Amino acid sequence: MGSTLFYLSRPVVVLWQLMVLFFDGDGWIVKKGWMEPTENECAWHGISCLDGVISKLELEQNRLVGKIIPEIAMWEKIYVLSLGNDYGAPEEERNELIMPLPSFLSNLTYLKVMNLEGVGLTSTIPEDLFSSWPHLESLYLNNNDI
């Protein structure tokens, strides 16, 4: 019975996490599929899945505003987190996630690529963060205040 309950509740939990991320999504540039009940989240713009589990979140230069939500840390199998901006990106397209680099990102132990370039990160990088990412190949944190 316990495994059946987990199977039934998993999609609800994932959808809740994505709804939290999309909370201020009205201003996003591209939001194809987001919160459309007929679409599987693996088909939404910026999301890729492996075996039905979110593995990539790629929403660069999409006018995301706010903070990196802690719910992202629940996607333990994610290996690409890309929310950054290209150098010189037009102001009206830029993601603005003005906050310290969150320590909860250390839960993403499968992370290979993280791009938070030019999003407005502040403060310092938590000391233990890099030891949590044994698979990390590419890290883009330039053009921030860290």
22 in Cβ contact with 59 (< 8 Å)? no
Q: What is the pLDDT of residue 90?
A: 95
Kind plus residue range of the DSSP H or E element containing 49:
strand 47-50
Distance CA 109, CA 50 (A): 16
The pTM assigned to this predicted structure is: 0.89
Q: Give pLDDT, residue 40.
A: 87
pLDDT value of position 8: 41
CA distances (Å), origin 107, targets 35, 90, 104, 114: 26, 32, 6, 13
**Series of mean pLDDT values for 10-residue runs along the chain (146 residues):** 42 84 89 84 94 95 93 92 95 94 93 97 87 95 94
